[in-house]
């Protein structure tokens, strides 16, 4: 399983890539693996305000339906429209082409609450027990 | 004994045939077409359109099933309507033929009660016939309700009757009313390629169904890119050169090529002589009847939509049977305890028995079981994995109280539950019955098992 070092992670299995006041978010390799083949994602709307720790999207796989929890708060400025036709991109490349949305951060200090790659990996190992 | 039935819809024609079978002399008066709303403007034509919509849907997904297609998949509306009309006319002929077979006399015209034993009929050719009868069953049904400030015009402001006969596929459509009829049409039109926006006064779509079912339907509508606006009222409707402008409370304006109003039905109680002979009506104008389907006037019965109630064809038919028996001197009472209902959206919805809130209202301590269709091999093999089965049961007695299904073939699957509830069976009776594999019915079996935490195809709860 892959957990890139340059990202920050939320306990509900979403990742954040910060770039100044903007952030790109998506779900982790652990999440896409647990979900199985993703068949649909309910993408958020542009200009939607999302809140850290709250559901901002829903993903349907062949196995289950799952809430996607926002790792940080902000306003959505871009969504990955490719996922409408091909949601399976999330399974193939969860950190790259499978990005879900870009947002403008409301409170950059929220990043400090998130885990780095090593801590997230440890957290997952604990969860599995 | 001569029985006159006013209206040949699913209530009237069933009552007529039943009475004829019981030996009565039966006359049916029908002012539009045999089969009523169900056959001509409701159940049957809409299901024919749903079948065409499903064909389009499947055709667009042929590649998923490993079938290569060369060329475009295009709906041919005139062929779709031709097919729908053929389905309807075959059914109509069938009923007329049954009437002949059982010796039921059909008089085509508008009937009006003059006295408790006499009906005046204005026939299509303008002539008037007076018919005397010993007993009368009123089955005049209902029609689409319109919003008075913008009535149907058949062109831009459509009723469900109009929607069934459109001559071209609208590019865009606003549907006012996200109940059963609105949602069914939303799915049909969306599949034909129309951009659909729904406007609903209540907080959600199909508010009379189980809330979990309604929420899933809303998600499925969203997936189809059908826009649903809830808790919103229509204030203004204006036809302009670029289409119908619909002004909503709060200021927002929607524009579309056509507007479909599906806010409910109004009962056909006008002009049939009810006031003249003193038939008692309720607060919504419905004809009041007792459990024998008899009105306040002895020998006059009323059935189906005109009595208010559930506005379901199968309820009208059952009431028709009960009324026919009573009219023929055999006592029968109507039993509404088990009435399945189905909604032919995509995915289908069906329910029978109590919802959770209804069980609570009755003071019943209840438990529930759930099962997702996506946990069933058959659903995956079919390629239709959205939906679930919910079972509601009495915690103390394990009696099955209600079943709610959203998913493939829900309208057929519900009947196992209907029989079980009618027979007073327990949840364990369903759980312990072997269900063939691989079928969708296993979903009901596992939901029943889930009531006691015993479903097999469910991961261990964390």
Q: Where are the domains of chain B?
A: 2-143+266-327, 157-263, 341-451
Contact B227, B173 (CB under 8 A): no
Instruction: Provide the CA B307 distance to its chain's centre, in angstroms.
Output: 16
Q: Is the pLDDT of residue A15 over 80?
A: yes
Q: How far apart are the first and last CA of chain A?
A: 17
From CA A106, how far away is CA A90, in angstroms rounded? 26
B219–A63 CB contact, under 8 Å: no
pLDDT of residue B460: 85
Could you say which DSSP state residue B147 is in? B
pLDDT of residue B303: 98
Which of B57, B245, B415, B437 is an active site residue? B437
Local confidence band at A10 (pLDDT 50, 70, 90 cut-offs): very high
Interface contact B222, partner A, CB < 8 A? yes
pLDDT of residue B344: 98
pLDDT of residue B459: 85
**Mean pLDDT score of chain B:** 96
- What's phi and psi for B251, nearest 5 deg? 105, -25
From CA A103, how far away is CA A14, in angstroms rounded? 14
Tell me which CATH code domain B157-263 carries: 3.50.50.60
From A63, which residue of chain B is nearest by alpha-carbon distance?
Answer: B374
B380–A62 CB contact, under 8 Å: yes
B374–A58 CB contact, under 8 Å: no
- What superfamily does domain B341-451 belong to in CATH? FAD/NAD-linked reductase, C-terminal dimerisation domain (3.30.390.30)
B219 neighbourhood in chain A, CB within 8 Å:
42, 58
- What's phi and psi for B416, nearest 5 deg? -60, -45
pLDDT of residue B124: 86
Q: Which of A122-126, B312-316, B351-355 has the weakest average pLDDT? A: A122-126
B223 neighbourhood in chain A, CB within 8 Å:
40, 42
| Percentage of residues of chain B with pLDDT beyond 90 | 97
Quote the minimal CA–CA distance from B212 to chain A in Å: 14
pLDDT of residue A127: 82
Q: Is the pLDDT of residue B346 over 80?
A: yes
Interface test with B, best of A57, A64, A87, A88 (most B CBs within 10 A): A64
3-state secondary structure of B110: strand
Contact B335, B175 (CB under 8 A): no
A64–B380 CB contact, under 8 Å: no
State mean pLDDT over B334-362: 97
From CA B112, how far away is CA B117, in angstroms rounded? 11
From CA B347, how far away is CA B333, in angstroms rounded? 35
Quote the minimal CA–CA distance from A52 to chain B in Å: 23
From CA B329, how far away is CA B70, in angstroms rounded? 64
Local confidence band at B341 (pLDDT 50, 70, 90 cut-offs): very high
Local confidence band at B432 (pLDDT 50, 70, 90 cut-offs): very high
Interface contact B380, partner A, CB < 8 A? yes
Q: Provide the pairing of β-strand B400-406 with B234-240.
A: unpaired
From CA B209, how far away is CA B348, in angstroms rounded? 13
From CA B395, how far away is CA B330, in angstroms rounded? 39
Contact B249, B232 (CB under 8 A): yes
Q: Who contacts B179 (Cβ-Cβ below 8 Å, separation ≥6)?
A: B205, B206, B207, B208, B262, B263, B264
Interface contact B386, partner A, CB < 8 A? yes
Structural element, H or E, at residue B431: helix B427-431
Contact B86, B1 (CB under 8 A): no
From CA B90, how far away is CA A16, in angstroms rounded? 62
Other beta carbons within 10 angstroms of residue B251's beta carbon come to 7
Interface contact B385, partner A, CB < 8 A? yes
pLDDT of residue B163: 97
Contact A32, A94 (CB under 8 A): yes
**Can B437 be counted among the known catalytic residues?**
yes
A62–B374 CB contact, under 8 Å: yes
Q: Is the pLDDT of residue B76 over 80?
A: yes
Q: Where are the domains of chain A?
A: 8-128
From CA B27, how far away is CA B105, in angstroms rounded? 5
Q: Provide the pairing of β-strand B234-240 with B243-248.
A: antiparallel
Closest C-alpha to B228, from B187, B188, B265: B187
Local confidence band at B372 (pLDDT 50, 70, 90 cut-offs): very high
Interface contact B225, partner A, CB < 8 A? no
pLDDT tens-digit profile of B276-300? 999 999 999 999 999 999 999 999 9
A42–B222 CB contact, under 8 Å: yes
Q: Is the pLDDT of residue A129 over 80?
A: no
Peptide bond preceding B347 in cis form (omega within 30 of 0)? yes
Tell me which CATH code domain B2-143+266-327 carries: 3.50.50.60
From A62, which residue of chain B is nearest by alpha-carbon distance?
Answer: B374
State mean pLDDT over B247-260: 96
Q: Is the pLDDT of residue A128 over 80?
A: no
pLDDT tens-digit profile of B92-128? 999 999 999 999 999 999 999 999 999 999 998 899 9
From B222, which residue of chain A is nearest by alpha-carbon distance?
Answer: A42
Structural element, H or E, at residue A125: helix A117-128
Q: Is the pLDDT of residue B149 over 90?
A: no
B219–A64 CB contact, under 8 Å: no
Structural element, H or E, at residue A77: strand A74-79
Local confidence band at B350 (pLDDT 50, 70, 90 cut-offs): very high
pLDDT of residue B160: 97
Could you say which DSSP state residue B284 is in? T
| Percentage of residues of chain B with pLDDT beyond 70 | 100
Whether B2-143+266-327 and B157-263 share one fold: the answer is yes
Instruction: Provide the CA A78 distance to its chain's centre, in angstroms.
Output: 14
pLDDT of residue B300: 97
Quote the minimal CA–CA distance from B68 to chain A in Å: 19
Looking at the structure, give the CATH architecture of the domain made up of residues A8-128: Beta Barrel (2.40)
pLDDT tens-digit profile of A70-126? 999 999 999 999 999 999 999 999 999 999 999 999 999 999 999 999 999 999 999
Closest C-alpha to A24, from A92, A85, A93, A77: A77
Instruction: Provide the CA B370 distance to its chain's centre, in angstroms.
Output: 25
State mean pLDDT over B185-189: 98
pLDDT of residue A1: 83
Q: Provide the pairing of β-strand A38-42 with A49-50.
A: unpaired
State mean pLDDT over B54-73: 94
């Amino acid at each position: 399983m892959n957990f890139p070092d340059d990202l920050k992670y939320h306990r509900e299995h979403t990742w954040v890539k910060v770039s100044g006041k903007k952030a790109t978010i998506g779900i982790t390799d652990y999440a896409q693996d647990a979900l199985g083949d993703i068949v649909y994602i309910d993408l958020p709307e542009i200009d939607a305000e999302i809140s850290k720790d709250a559901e901002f999207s829903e993903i349907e796989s062949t196995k289950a339906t799952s809430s996607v929890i926002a790792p940080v708060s902000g306003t959505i400025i871009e969504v990955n429209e490719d996922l409408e036709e091909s949601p399976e991109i999330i399974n193939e490349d969860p950190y790259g082409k499978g990005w879900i949305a870009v947002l403008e951060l409301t409170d950059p200090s929220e990043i400090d609450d998130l885990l780095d790659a090593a801590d997230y990996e440890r957290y997952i190992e604990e969860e599995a027990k | 004994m001569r029985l006159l039935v006013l209206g040949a819809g699913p209530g009237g024609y069933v009552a007529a045939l039943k009475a004829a079978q019981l030996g009565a002399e039966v006359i049916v008066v029908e002012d539009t077409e045999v089969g009523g709303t169900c056959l001509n403007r409701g159940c049957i034509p809409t299901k024919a359109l749903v079948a065409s919509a499903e064909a389009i849907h499947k055709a667009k997904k042929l590649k998923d099933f490993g079938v290569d297609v060369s060329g475009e998949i295009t709906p041919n509306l005139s062929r779709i309507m031709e097919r729908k009309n053929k389905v309807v006319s075959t059914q109509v002929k069938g009923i007329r033929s049954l009437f002949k077979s059982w010796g039921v006399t059909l008089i085509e015209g508008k009937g009006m009660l003059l006295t408790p034993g006499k009906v005046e009929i204005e026939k299509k050719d303008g002539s008037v016939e007076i018919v005397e009868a010993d007993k009368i069953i009123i089955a005049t049904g209902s029609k689409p309700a319109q919003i008075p400030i913008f009535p149907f015009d058949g062109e831009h402001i459509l009723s469900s009757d109009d929607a069934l006969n459109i001559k071209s596929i609208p590019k865009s459509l606003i549907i006012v009313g996200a109940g059963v009829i609105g949602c069914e049409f939303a799915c049909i039109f969306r599949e034909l390629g129309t951009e659909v926006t729904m406007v609903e006064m209540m907080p959600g779509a199909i508010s009379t169904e189980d809330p979990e079912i309604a929420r899933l339907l809303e998600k499925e509508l969203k997936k189809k890119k059908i826009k649903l606006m809830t808790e919103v009222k229509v204030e203004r409707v204006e036809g302009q050169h670029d289409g119908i402008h619909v002004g909503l409370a709060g200021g927002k304006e929607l524009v579309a090529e056509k507007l479909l109003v599906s806010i409910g039905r109004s009962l056909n109680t006008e002009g049939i002589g009810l006031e003249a002979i003193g038939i008692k009506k309720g607060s919504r104008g419905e004809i009041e009847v007792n459990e024998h389907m008899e009105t306040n006037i002895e020998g006059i019965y009323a059935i189906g939509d005109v009595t208010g109630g559930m506005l379901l064809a199968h309820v009208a038919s059952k009431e028709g049977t009960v009324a026919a028996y009573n009219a023929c001197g055999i006592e029968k009472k109507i039993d509404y305890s088990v009435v399945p209902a189905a909604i032919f959206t995509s995915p289908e919805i069906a329910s029978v028995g109590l919802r959770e809130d209804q069980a609570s209202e009755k003071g019943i301590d209840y438990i529930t079981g759930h099962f997702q269709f996506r946990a069933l091999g058959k659903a995956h093999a079919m390629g239709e994995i959205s939906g679930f089965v919910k079972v509601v049961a009495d915690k103390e007695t394990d009696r099955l109280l209600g079943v709610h299904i959203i998913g493939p073939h829900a309208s057929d699957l519900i009947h196992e539950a209907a029989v079980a509830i009618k027979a007073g069976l327990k949840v364990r009776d369903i759980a312990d019955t072997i269900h063939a594999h691989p079928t969708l019915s296993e979903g009901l079996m596992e939901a029943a098992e889930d009531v006691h935490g015993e479903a097999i195809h469910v991961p261990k709860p964390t």
